[in-house]
Amino acid sequence: MPLDLIETLCDLVRLPSVNPMGRDIQGDVYYEHRVTDYLQDLFQGWGLPWMRQTVAPGRDNIVARLDGEIPVAEGGRMLMFEVHQDTVPVEGMTIEPWTPEVRQGRVYGRGACDVKGGMACMLAAVRRLAEQRPPGMATIVLACTVDEEYGFTGARNVGRLWQPESDFLPRAPDAVVVAEPTELDVVVAHKGVVRWRCHTLGQAAHSSQPESGHNAIYDMAHVVSLLERYARDGVARMAEDPLLGRPALSVGLIHGGISVNVVPDRCTIEIDRRTLPHEDEHQAWQQAIDAIGRGLPSHVRWEADPPHQVIGSLQSGSNRQWAEQVSQAARAAGGVGRCVGVPYGTDAPAFAGAGIPTVVFGPGSIAQAHTVDEWIEISQMHAAVDSYYRLALP
């Protein structure tokens, strides 16, 4: 029986898989295990070989394989479909996050667009391929990963699965398509990001005698205005990428002081620097720190942490041929299939970094991802199923 696309998406939305995004977790909506169990049942029911790979407690990647006409061991083509199981949190949502609603050609719910809609489409395509077995069909490895919305640790672990001694995945796939809401355009490049914290160190005192202390918040004000200037006059004037525009830097978090009647002895900010493919993330971090060091008054005591998050960029070029194939499949299915660059990060660098041609492609618009009334257009989902199906054809 073919997979019911919309029913499958509704099933997935009903299973909370919230990424705690580095916060302390409470409640029972966190982590991906409900979705993983659902997928395992599905793959088992279809008779596909599958494996789970534990990345953290309650957080498993699950990978299934549909063998093509020519076995991989005999030189058959192998493609990987990759899609993440997690969603962002639901605070502030104006619709029921876990009660999917189908109306006016859309499905509403948390994850409908990012990216359970894309997951349902990949599942439907694999199911259709398994039933129809078109001549010359490639082997499809469907990797459903964890932790895309925060640490990208799931995809990085999948990148370690192919080993010569493995029966399940003896070599790397020939190409990877990562599902994200791209409106059926083919994302061939995206920016990277490096994030870190900076601290100023003062001396605490009673606020009635501030002169006997040293105010770390005042010092941080120097650092912040320096970074504002550096972002505007330095980073935003760096060389432009034709697909991605310019790099960027912003200060996104600030925290300092314990009470209004205490001169604060410590203030911390968190910095987000978006990189272009030709940049090295650690170098970008170092350049920003040098800029702070050059501009600060000498009385300011400060320190910078090493980056706590580094997400690679996706570089266009070696994925050109694969992008053209995906674009053709999208057009044949009624999509636009333009090759584009985007500012947001994805799982793609985990595979592209291993030298595998990788693009990002899926139904839905990034404009509806992470929103208070997240939805996906059903017509795009049908076109996506068709596109993914066509990728497996010779």
Residue-wise DSSP of 322-377: HHHHHHHHHHHTT----EEEESS--STHHHHTTT--EEE--SSBGGGTT-TT-EEE
82 binds Zn ion (CB under 5 A): no
Q: 3-state SS of the chain: helix, strand, coil percent to 5?
A: 30, 25, 40
Per-residue DSSP letter, 49: -
Dist. CA 151–CA 155, nearest whole Å: 10
Work out whether 63 is an interface residue with Zn ion (CB under 5 A). no
Binders of Zn ion among residues 146 to 205 (CB under 5 A) are 180
Nearer to Zn ion, 147 or 180 (CB): 180
Instruction: Using CB under 5 A, pick the residue from 60, 82, 86, 114 that binds Zn ion.
Output: 114
356 in Cβ contact with 174 (< 8 Å): yes
Q: Least distance to Zn ion from the beta carbon of 115, Å?
A: 4
Identify which of residues 125 and 178 has a Cβ nearer to Zn ion in the complex: 178
Collapsing DSSP to helix, strand or coil, 46 comes out as helix
Of 290-349, binders to Zn ion (CB under 5 A) are none
Total of residues contacting Zn ion (CB under 5 A): 3
Q: Where are the beta strands (DSSP E) in the chain?
A: 50-56, 59-66, 78-84, 101-103, 106-108, 139-145, 175-178, 186-190, 192-201, 205-206, 248-256, 262-263, 266-275, 302-304, 309-311, 339-342, 358-360, 375-377
CB of 264 to Zn ion, least distance (A): 38
**Shortest distance in whole angstroms from residue 227 CB to Zn ion:** 29
The answer to whether 134 and 381 have CB atoms below 8 angstroms apart is no
Residue 182's DSSP bridge partners are 365
Nearer to Zn ion, 114 or 279 (CB): 114
Stretch that binds Zn ion, among 112-120, 139-147, 201-209, 265-273 (CB under 5 A): 112-120
> Which CB sits closer to Zn ion, 113 or 175?
113
Choice between 85 and 316, CB closer to Zn ion: 85
Residues constituting the chain: 394
Under rule CB under 5 A, residue 115 binds Zn ion: yes
Please say which residue, 181 or 264, places its beta carbon nearer to Zn ion: 181
* Residue range at the interface with Zn ion (CB under 5 A); choices 56-64, 114-122, 158-166, 353-361: 114-122
Report whether 83 contacts 114 (CB < 8 A): no
Q: Which is nearer to Zn ion, 281 or 374 (CB)?
A: 374
Element (H, E) at 379: helix 378-391
- In whole angstroms, the minimum distance from the beta carbon of 141 to Zn ion comes to 19
Tell me the three state secondary structure of residue 154: helix
Judged by the rule CB under 5 A, the positions of this chain that interact with Zn ion are 114-115, 180
